[in-house]
Amino acid sequence: MITLTINGLQTSVEKGTTLLEAASSLGFPIPTLCHMEGLSPYGACRLCMVEIGEGPRAKLVSSCTYPAQEGLKVRTASSRVLRARNMVIELLLASCPQSKTIQDIAAAHNIRRQRFRQEYEDCILCGLCVRMCEEQMMAKAIGFRGRGQNRTVGTPFDIKSDVCRLCGGCIYVCPTCQLRCTYTEPEKAICGGCANLAPPCVEKDQFDDMMCYMTPCVACEIEKD
Amino acid sequence: MERLQVIEDFSSLQARLTADREPNIPVIVIPAGTCGQASGANDLIRVTKRELLDKGLTDKIHLRVTGCHGFCEAEPSVLIEPQGTFYPKVDAKQMVRIVQAVAADEVLEDLLFADPETGRGFYRYDKIPFFRNQQRSIMRMNQALDPIRIYTCIVSGGYGALQDVLANRSPYQALQEVKDSGLRGRGGAGFPTGLKWDLLAALPDEPAKILVCNADEGDPGAYMDRSILEGNPHSIIEGMLIAAYATGATEGVLYVRNEYPLAIKHLMIALRQCRELGLLGDDILGTGLRFDIELVRGAGAFVCGEETALIRSIEGKMGEPVQRPPFPVEKGINGRPTAINNVETWANIPLIFKLGAEEYAKVGTNGNTGTKIFSLVGKIKNTGLVEVPMGITIEKIVHDIGGGARGNGKIKAVQTGGPSGGCIPADRFDLPVDYDSLAKAGSIMGSGGMIVMDDNTCMVDVAKYFMNFLMDESCGKCFTCRKGTQRMYEILEDISNGKATLQDLDLLEELAHVVKDTTMCGLGQTASNPVLSTLRYFRDEYIEHIENQRCPAGVCKELVTYSINENCTGCGLCVTVCSEGAISGEKKGRHVIDVDKCIKCGSCRTVCNFDAIDVR
């Protein structure tokens, strides 16, 4: 057993436990996007950053990949962690605002705006689908291609894969494919209304040909701000 | 080549080669590394060979083709030994004269390197300030040996340290010697090499341990590793052999980027010769030491210089970092313990044993021992590779060795540590160059790139350039590195286009700190340095761009206009080079630039002989 302190609380965990698991077992919430039980830790989304160490040696690490160590002091919500987490959420919103998962995380952290050039990407390259396909479906049909800005997920040479059984596992785990809310105009999608129990605002006429699972929605609240 | 069976065989080979040496015969040394060949060294070699054969001088003059000596500004150069006469920027015709002069034991004074102040030539290369102010313990070997002939290496002391270690020291003593030397990894982070080896040596022999030489040098403007690989590949092999003896590793990997074809060629030749001589393989020199080195070529990704990405690349996977711990020394290539060191670190190992740890540690400062090679480039007179003791001030490197600013510019800053490094302003040039001082000043030592900038360099543009590089080279795995570099680049682009606000500047700084905090590997963690260090020392330049829409250095195209001042003589030269037809005027009268047509390419300014083009 390994003893460590999380937010001042001492806890003992088994060897090999990650900081994320240890913190969750104590009930400290850490947002994640690329982590899923049953899939190997990857550490790509950088949402689950926690602060370890003290003084000038204190640093942020991704809790989903960092193994618990004896005597480690972990802070899951220090000001440094929050600053980083908020900026990561803002970056996510700037790239992929339509994702319901990201909207929910933003709303939960009270992020209502982003200050970068707005993009509308479909993929945040969290790698859940790649790991799902390889580790749970034993197919390895999809993988990463390219580097940096040109990195994408797909089959080799974009040819239909022989090993793909069309199981849909990749779509099931994707935080951006399922549950997309684009509002009536994509720019207004970052409302987070679904996570806020604010007074209802129904703009039915604008939602004629699309279904908002957010009914009622509070987009108009944002406009007033 | 005969295989050496026991240690004594090596000693007798060395003695025989030394006895065969003819120290009185003059040697024409031509540095032909990649830089030398690019500037015409191959022609000089051809001319020299022809001249020696034609005149029947082959017995009277010897020719040695070596790796780069470091004085790139003077390439292609020729060095005459043993006199030490140095001829810079030699062409084929001059080479013929030089061969004749060497045959007649004369010195061609008109071709000597001239003192920029007095105009008098230097008779010996080591009197030239560029060489005189350096301490060349590693680079000096480059001029002493022919990298593709192992005998020239042995005769100049190569593999002597290995022989000494195998004959006189236990593995523990060898390890202790490296620890005592205080050598820190030259790859950039400065991790103590002895400690890394100690961690490796403490592990059991199964699974077999691996040593890696990281030669994936990718920083723009840095090429010291290339010069060592090309000029003295044996020093790396020797260093790895000593480490194999000290740590019990049995396999070695040289990870060289494929953009270094000459280095790869020289390494392959060196490895083959070592195997033939019995310096690599089973039972090396009869001591039972087993070690062999494999050469792996990198496929061209900057991030593969990061150790965990390098391991994955060697394993044949996509070159992207993984989270540490576990560290490579516990779990490296295919799960086996792996110690990775930089080229320059390996090249330092034989030197430690040649001098002794105590003597080695006297060079440099406490905690930063030994020498470091920097590649000094940019707006400076003497560009090249300079080897200096650690702890020397930037001032000394830039002015004493580098010779100060090129042209009539004024040096503004030095960028150290490659794209992940930072800029040090001129008023902090008294800063000693070592790992800790540079880190404190907001930069890093990195692998040793040093780019000098003068007042014609725009710091926003510099930050933008490096951010563009990092954006391209980020592997894309970590979200904050991939998007963070892209967003920082976008904001910098806005600033240089005059479209940014002061809020954007705050956002840039905030983002830079977060990217530094939240990324996984060294690339991301240092990716903000170009932004943060320029913001720290040159914030006024950023503000000038934003508030006054002005680029003080006249670099950011969107913010400058070209005009012609009263110096114009009406020669019309600029009219001929202007691709847009934007310049017009009467013959012999002052010309004007049509700002609507002008694309700000700068051609007119380059060709103008009268300094008549203003950029504001």
Retrieve residue B29's tokens: 């040394």
Which residues 6+ apart lie within 8 Å of A158 measured at CB? none
Which residue ranges in chain B fall short of pLDDT 50? none
pLDDT greater than 60 at residue A204: no
Pick from A49, A66, A115: which is nearest to B518 by CB? Answer: A49
CA dist B436 and A65 (Å) reads: 29
pLDDT greater than 70 at residue A84: yes
Do strands A49-52 and A143-145 pair parallel, antiparallel, or not at all (unpaired)?
Answer: unpaired
A108 phi/psi in degrees, rounded to 5: -65, -25
What fold characterizes domain B144-360?
Rossmann fold (3.40.50)
Listed in sequence order, the DSSP H helices in B304-370 are 307-314, 343-355, 357-362
Kindly report, residue by residue over A16-53, the tens digit of the pLDDT: 899 999 999 999 999 999 999 999 999 999 999 999 99
Give the DSSP H/E element, type plus range, for residue B489.
helix B479-496
Tell me how close the Cα of A143 comes to any Cα of chain B, in angstroms.
Answer: 10
Instruction: Give, in degrees to the nearest 5, the angle at Cα A143 between A142 and A146.
Output: 135
Q: At what angle do helices B193-201 and B233-247 cross, to 10 degrees?
A: 40
Pick from B476, B486, B518: which is nearest to A125 by CB? Answer: B476
CA dist B27 and B595 (Å) reads: 59
CA dist B456 and B605 (Å) reads: 13
Do strands B364-365 and A73-75 pair parallel, antiparallel, or not at all (unpaired)?
Answer: unpaired
Question: What's the pLDDT score for residue B484?
Answer: 94
Give the DSSP H/E element, type plus range, for residue B465.
helix B459-473
Question: What's the pLDDT score for residue B615?
Answer: 83
What fold characterizes domain A2-77?
Ubiquitin-like (UB roll) (3.10.20)
Note the CATH number of domain A128-173: 3.30.70.20
Kindly report, residue by residue over A169-203, the tens digit of the pLDDT: 888 888 887 545 555 555 555 554 444 444 344 45
One-letter-per-residue 3-state SS of B267-287: HHHHHHHHHHHCCCEEEECCC
Question: What's the pLDDT score for residue A225?
Answer: 45
pLDDT greater than 70 at residue A215: no
Kindly report, residue by residue over B416-426, the tens digit of the pLDDT: 888 888 899 99
Q: Where do the structural domains in chain B lie, given as residue ranges? A: 24-81+85-123, 144-360, 365-454, 459-547, 561-615
Task: Give the length of chain B.
Answer: 616
Pick from A45, A62, A88: which is nearest to B323 by CB? Answer: A62
Question: What's the pLDDT score for residue A200?
Answer: 42
Q: Do B520 and A62 touch (CB under 8 A)?
A: yes
Question: What's the pLDDT score for residue A186?
Answer: 57
What fold characterizes domain B24-81+85-123?
Glutaredoxin (3.40.30)
Question: What's the pLDDT score for residue A178?
Answer: 57
Tell me how close the Cα of B510 comes to any Cα of chain A, in angstroms.
Answer: 8
Question: What's the pLDDT score for residue A214?
Answer: 45
What fold characterizes domain B365-454?
Ubiquitin-like (UB roll) (3.10.20)
- What SS3 class is residue A153? strand
Question: What's the pLDDT score for residue B150?
Answer: 94
Kindly report, residue by residue over B40-97, the tens digit of the pLDDT: 999 999 999 999 999 999 899 999 999 999 998 898 999 998 889 999 999 999 999 9
Tell me how close the Cα of B468 comes to any Cα of chain A, in angstroms.
Answer: 11
CA dist B538 and B413 (Å) reads: 10
Contact status, residue B395 vs residue B413, Cβ threshold 8 Å: no
CA dist B294 and B312 (Å) reads: 16
In the CATH scheme, what architecture does the domain B561-615 have? 2-Layer Sandwich (3.30)
In the CATH scheme, what architecture does the domain B459-547 have? Up-down Bundle (1.20)
DSSP A15: T
Question: What's the pLDDT score for residue A221?
Answer: 45
Q: Where do the structural domains in chain A lie, given as residue ranges? A: 2-77, 91-120+181-224, 128-173
A79 and chain B in contact, CB less than 8 A: no
Q: At what angle do helices B529-547 and B479-496 cross, to 10 degrees?
A: 30
A140 and chain B in contact, CB less than 8 A: no
Cβ count near B304 (within 10 Å): 27
CA dist B201 and A141 (Å) reads: 41
- When the pLDDT of each residue in chain A is averaged and rounded to a whole number, the result is 81
The side-by-side arrangement of strands in the sheet containing B384-389 is B384-389, B371-378, B449-454, B411-416, B422-425
Percent of chain A at pLDDT exceeding 70? 79
